Amino acid sequence: MSASDPQQAPLGVFDSGVGGLTVVRALRELLPNESIVYLGDTARVPYGSKSPDTIRRFSVEDSQFLVSHGVKAVVVACNTATAHALPVLQATFRVPVIGVIEPGVEATLADGKCERVGIIGTAGTIRSSAYQYALAMRRPGLQIHATATPLLVPFVEEGWVEHPALKLVLKQYLDPLLEKGIDTLMLGCTHYPLLMPVLQKMLGKKVHLIDSASTCAAHTKRVLEEQKLLRKGRGKPTLDIYLTDLSEQAEAMARRFLGTEFGKVKKATL
């Protein structure tokens, strides 16, 4: 990062795979002037099945890669890495390090009428209890119902976000939560923003949806504003995408998650 002009430095974003590009997409919509360096650790995905110690080690290596590229802040666009590694990353690096869990919790609790929260995520995220703990600490008495939804990631990665089979699976996952009377549903996985349209159709207006991509982008904007790190409009912002394992499938998925074309994906060596 340029000590003379840190505002011009890029944002760094990492995830265990390409799902974190939904966060990049939200960041580009909210902060179109910012340059971004993205790292997807596709060689070691998924993180959810690894031990907490391994997740912390991988997350430090991912962050180190981004910091070596001069980023002014690191966004951890991975729920599992946020749950297990965020305090270590914040203690290790001088730049601000932002996770995806706290912004989602803040957005959920901003609604004073919220009484019953449902949380869906990968098995690793739900097992970590990071969302449940953060919500319960902030608002004692809040009813929290969390369920692991492991079949959703493969559907999203196949691009089957309108497939009849997906709707059947979602119904199986959501019906028990709806029976408990949830008024808010937190999407605790960065793949899940691509399910927003189908979820909105299924749930209607009676359930408030909170997705980790848009809430994380809004939180990142606040942090950059507070630390006077917003990029001024000099030159066109850049987007550099690095993956630790290059494959045609990963590149195709990256386009799906980002929602647009981009330049050549580069190979990252950690």
State the catalytic residue, choosing from 189, 207, 250, 268. 189
Contacts of 41 (CB under 8 A, 6+ apart): 14, 15, 16, 17, 47, 58, 62, 243, 244, 270
Q: Is 33 among the annotated ligand-binding positions?
A: no
Distance CA 228, CA 222 (A): 10
Question: Is 2 within any annotated ligand binding site?
Answer: no
Among 31, 78, 182, 243, the one annotated catalytic? 78
Token reading at 14: 């990492």
- Number of helices (H), then strands (E), belonging to the chain: the values are 11, 10
Q: What is the number of other CB atoms lying within 10 angstroms of the CB of residue 155?
A: 20
Distance CA 166, CA 169 (A): 5
Assess whether 189 carries a catalytic annotation.
yes
Is 114 designated active site?
no
User: Tokens 């942090």 sit at which residue?
Assistant: 223
Rounded distance between C-alpha atoms, residue 131 and residue 259, angstroms: 27
Phi, psi of 240 (to 5 degrees): -115, 125
Which of 66, 104, 61, 67 has the alpha carbon at shortest distance from 81?
61
Does 79 count as an annotated binding residue? yes
Say if residue 16 carries a ligand binding annotation. yes
Amino acid (1-letter code) at residue 19: G
CB of 190 closer than 8 Å to CB of 213? yes
Query: Measured between alpha carbons, how far is 126 from 241 in angstroms, rounded to an integer?
Result: 28
Q: Which residues are catalytic?
A: 78, 189
Q: Which residues are annotated as a binding site for substrate?
A: 15-16, 47-48, 79-80, 190-191
Q: Which residues are annotated as a binding site?
A: 15-16, 47-48, 79-80, 190-191
